[in-house]
Amino acid sequence: MKFAFSLKNKLKIAFLLFCIMCCTLLIRFLEDKSVEKINESFISMYNDRLVPATDLYFIAENLYHKNKIIQETLFGDGAVQPSIGIVKMNKHNRKIDSIINKYELTLLVKQEKNFLNDLKKALTVQQGVEAKIINMAGTEGRIIYESMGKNAVDETLAKLSALIKIQSKVGNDLIKGSKIFVSGTKVYSTLQVILAIVIGIMIVAIVSASNAVKIQSEKFNLN
């Protein structure tokens, strides 16, 4: 009977320790997943937010240079001929297209895709107006610039600004997500500490019970 009772208690303890071990492994797995998610968030922050935001700045820079070329062609001292202006404009257009193509390869949310499509349409309209302005030059070119050119530039800049703002919003969402995963790792670490304490208490209890049984056995043998 004593052997059966002792075996039963050992099985209970073994099962409890097995459950604790499974919980520890599960917590470790969840903790690793949280760390992986945090890492992915930071990589996405760099590749899909920081780098594209820099690229959008270069689009704005090329738009500035294009407007400067038109100003020099229409209102300059004649140093920039229309043919030269067209060559320079096409160079900046190719740079902008290259940046847009690169930007499309990044991870884009639905709103970003919509704003990017709006920007591409605005750029197409602006390029068409710019071509007319430079080809006509002179008085007619100035009239087109004043009536359509400025509005086309303003519209493109507005679309670009909207895209930059949504970049910032999505970046903030990524930061919030990272904070949630960081909080999760703290919870998992706390649970691991609790389980370690429970295991320590169980070991002390088992050792104490074993010593008590040993002392009782020695007293019984003495009697």
**CATH number, position 183:** 1.20.1330.10
From the centroid of its chain, how far is CA 84?
42
CA–CA separation, 109 vs 174, rounded Å?
12
Q: Is the pLDDT of residue 223 over 70?
A: no
Supply the pLDDT for residue 1: 45
CB 182 within 8 A of CB 38: yes
CA–CA separation, 60 vs 168, rounded Å?
17
Structure tokens at 71: 């100003």
Polymer length in residues for the chain: 223
Burial (Cβ within 10 Å: 0-12, 13-18, ≥19) of residue 59? buried
Indicate the number of domains in the chain.
1
CA–CA separation, 137 vs 147, rounded Å?
14
Instruction: With cut-offs at 50, 70 and 90, classify the pLDDT of residue 94.
Output: very high
Structure tokens at 60: 């704005």
Rg (CA), the chain: 35
Structure tokens at 58: 């270069």
- Domain assignment of residue 31, given as a range: 2-222
CA–CA separation, 197 vs 191, rounded Å?
10
Structure tokens at 80: 């920039």
CA–CA separation, 123 vs 173, rounded Å?
29
CA–CA separation, 138 vs 39, rounded Å?
57
Instruction: With cut-offs at 50, 70 and 90, classify the pLDDT of residue 120.
Output: very high
Q: Is the pLDDT of residue 111 over 70?
A: yes
Over residues 55-69, the pLDDT tens digits come to: 888 898 999 988 888
Query: For the range 5-10, what are the long-range contacts, defined as Cβ-Cβ under 8 Å and sequence gap of 24 or more?
Result: none
Supply the pLDDT for residue 183: 64
CA–CA separation, 204 vs 210, rounded Å?
10
Over residues 134-186, the pLDDT tens digits come to: 887 677 778 888 888 888 888 988 888 888 887 777 766 666 666 666 666 67
